Amino acid sequence: MTGFGWGVRNLGRHPGRTALSLAGIAVAAAMLLDMVMLSGGIEKSFSDLLLARGYHIRITPKGTFPFDTEAAIPGATRVVRALRAEPGVQAAGAVLGTSVYGRTADSLVTLFGYGVQPEAQGIYLVTAGSDLAPGDTLGVLLSEPAARLLGVGVGETVALAGRLDPQIAQASTDRRLTVRGIVRWIYDSRGQPSVGTVLPLMQRLAGDAAADQASLLLVKAADDRSVEALAARLRERFPELAVNSVADLVLEAKRRLVYFTQLSYVLGGMSLVVAVLLVGTLLTITVNERLGEIATLRAIGVGRGTIVRQVLAEGLALTVVGGGAGILLGLVTAEYLDAILTSFPGLPQAFSFFVPRANTLTVAALALLLTGSLAGLYPAWLASNAPIAATLRAEAT
């Protein structure tokens, strides 16, 4: 019988004990997988989020990040025109983020408003209807939560109100617009009701038309390999603005969420220690119970190397079975944990902490296999060095 088959047969001698050990290994493997997914998931998810529409560079007011504050860039149209004329820039567009109000039958509801340049936008995907056309001052885009809140669909009319006058609690600007499409706003948090219009109209609703303000400028590089060089050149061209590539923003996100990465390292290390202790303890108990059998095999000519390989194979079998169950458990628990963490206020709905990837599964599987092998070293040494004569004499008496 092969070493692996011998190991599986021996594990079946005590099914209850083996089942409990496998359950413990599965839990440790699930924790390891989740922590490996968490350690790289934040970076991967945030990078994918920012590159969803292919825009490599974000430009914001100095000292801020996109939509972090109400600070705005004045003269947005002029800056965008300059960006589009810059060598190496494929596309550039401005975005204004502000609060607006939607009129229902008997009240006003608060909405988040995006002013966009449809010909160069990187913050939404159309899911129903059509996109805005450049210069369309009679159309509006709604998120699904906003459409439900306002009770309208594609082709229907909605009334949007601008900033309220604090003296009379009335909107300074009021527009009736036709819903062109339902969209998914990439940066929206879960359930956030958002609307979008062309930039000039949203500026008028926000009272910023005179200053031609924008919250964010998006830039798409003509060549992916020239992004960092282009970002450096734009920093020199616009020293009064903050210019960040996707790599810069991902690095900043990792810095802000560094405690999640540290937690993943600590808990991942603990899960490996638990797996080593479980496998090592079970194998040591099993070897001690079978010392007589092992001594007999040695007495009839079975070599030390064979005994060592058989014990290591038993540990490997234990790790493979428990680890396989643990990976499935880890994928299920990761989905549950991700739903909890992404429900925190302010996080984009499309953001994930746990991102399953092929290399993540490979790292977790290799770590478990290595753990199973190392855990079997002491029991294997114990089995191969058992004194044959003394063990057989003890078994006989």
Give the 3-state secondary structure of 241-303: EEEEEHHHHHHHHHHHCHHHHHHHHHHHHHHHHHHHHHHHHHHHHHHHHCHHHHHHHHHCCCC
Same-domain pairing of 183 and 292: no
DSSP state of 192: -
Same-domain pairing of 197 and 110: yes
| Residues paired with 114 in a beta bridge | 97, 196
Q: What percent of the chain shows pLDDT beyond 90? A: 25
Same-domain pairing of 235 and 280: no
pTM above 0.95, yes or no: no
- Residue at 13 is within a domain: yes
Same-domain pairing of 161 and 190: yes
Among the ranges given (27-36, 101-110, 289-298), the one the predictor scored with the smallest mean pLDDT: 289-298
Same-domain pairing of 294 and 171: no
Q: Which domain holds residue 273?
A: 3-49+256-396
Same-domain pairing of 73 and 108: yes
DSSP state of 395: H
What pLDDT, on a 0 to 100 scale, did the predictor assign at position 157? 93
What's the pLDDT tens digit per position in 154-206?
999 999 988 655 444 455 567 899 999 999 998 888 888 999 999 999 988 88
How many other CB atoms sit within 10 Å of the CB of residue 228?
14
Domain count, the chain: 2
Same-domain pairing of 84 and 225: yes
Same-domain pairing of 291 and 176: no
Task: Report the alpha-carbon distance of residue 160 to residue 146 in Å, rounded.
Answer: 12
CB crowding 124-134: b at 16 or more within 10 Å, else e: beeeebebbee
How many other CB atoms sit within 10 Å of the CB of residue 334?
23
Mean pLDDT of the chain: 82
Same-domain pairing of 154 and 218: yes
Q: Which among 209, 239, 269 is the end of a domain?
A: 239
* R_g of the chain computed on alpha carbons: 31
